[in-house]
Structure 1
Amino acid sequence: MSALNFSHIGVTVPDLEKAVEFYSKAFGLYVLMEPTEVLHDDSAIGQMCDDVFGEGWGSFRIAHLSMGDGIGIELFEFPNTIEEERPFEYWRRGLFHFCVQDDNLEERVKTIEELGGKQRMKQVRKYYPGDKPYRMVYMEDPFGNVFELYSHSYELTYSAGAYA
């Protein structure tokens, strides 16, 4: 089987409008679908949600955004989404971050912080100090969702004999 292409990632947030503003400005995403309410009904999307969430899920709000390469970020706001500070439990099962790429990483960090995000690391780190310009940093959106920024592609970063 051939390698798949990445399509999108879904992120749950407590404030959909604030999230659309943050992700569109912080990442330069364009909005494909403005915040929209999805209701439990007999439509195709309603039936799909029954399969995913189980019976009685009620409703939620959703927005679709797209990266420059066509990869999507799907933002969800559920009526019972709790805005809470949670510990960063990276060792727990499941997704703990996603990564986006910007060769002007340091400027992107500033933009993200101006929009309410925060840098998790003390500084931007170099993968191959003195050898290659590959840099990375972990960040958070205003809701505490963790993401990473790379200066170069995943393939370039790791095909060079990672950490050698």
Structure 2
Amino acid sequence: MTYPRAFNHIGLSVPDVDAAFKWYTDVLGLYPIMEPTEIARDDSAIGIMCDDVFGESWSKFKICHLATADRIGIELFEFPDNQTPENNLEYKKTGIFHFCITDPDVEGLAEKIVATGGKQRMPVRSYYPGEKPYRMVYCEDPWGNIIEIYSHSYELTYSAGAYQD
């Protein structure tokens, strides 16, 4: 039987996990679960799991764990020799290109993101101008990870046919 599953977490790569941990807690208000910790290759359970995921060429990385108000996890990883892509919005490539946060003050959060080193990629837009207060905007954290902000929940925004005229 197929049924909807709960979203658990997403992992993001950043060049400075300590700075990102502070930014994600201070700016996005995420709840800290585990502060930045270094993981080194060894025979522990986590070391073996990392061998499975990264292959045997990895040596160490830093990681921390955060959570949203609705208990969705965000893992931040700092790998040695982290590389920032030239184009951080390669939407034509397969893979995750953004994640979304819900905040009724879309404009205020976008301003806070910009004031703390991030970017606002577009003006705040309305899905139903003059009808419903559903708004959204795309931003970036200071390391180029794309963050979309919705004023309302995903279900409310799309259940009314956001793309229909």
Measured against the shorter chain, the TM-score band is over 0.9
Change over 3 Å in CA distance of 1:155–1:87 after alignment to 2: closer
Aligned residues: 163
| Equivalent position of 2:67 in the other structure | 66
Residues of 2 paired with 1:109 and 1:77: CA distance? 25
Deviation at 1:87, TM superposition (A): 5.1
2:94 is the alignment partner of 1:82: no
- Quote the Cα distance in structure 1 between the aligned partners of 2:88 and 2:21: 24
User: Corresponding residue for 1:131?
Assistant: 131
Aligned pairs for 1:1-164 (under 5 A) are: 1-83=2-84, 85-86=86-87, 88-121=89-122, 123-164=123-164
Give the Cα separation in 2 of the matches to 1:33 and 1:95: 24
Q: Answer yes or no: is the 8 Å Cα contact 2:88–2:144 preserved in 1.
A: no
Cα-to-partner distance string for 1:62-86 (whole Å, 9 max, x where unaligned): 0101111111110000012124543
CA distance in 1, matches of 2:114, 2:95: 26
Query: Root-mean-square deviation (CA), in Å?
Result: 1.2
Once the two structures are aligned, what percentage of the paired residues are identical?
Answer: 59
1:83 and 1:146 map into 2 onto residues whose CA distance is: 13
TM-score of the superposed pair, with normalisation by structure 2: 0.94
Runs of 4+ aligned residues of structure 1 deviating over 4 Å after TM superposition are none
Extract unaligned runs of 5+ from structure 1: none
Deviation at 1:163, TM superposition (A): 1.8
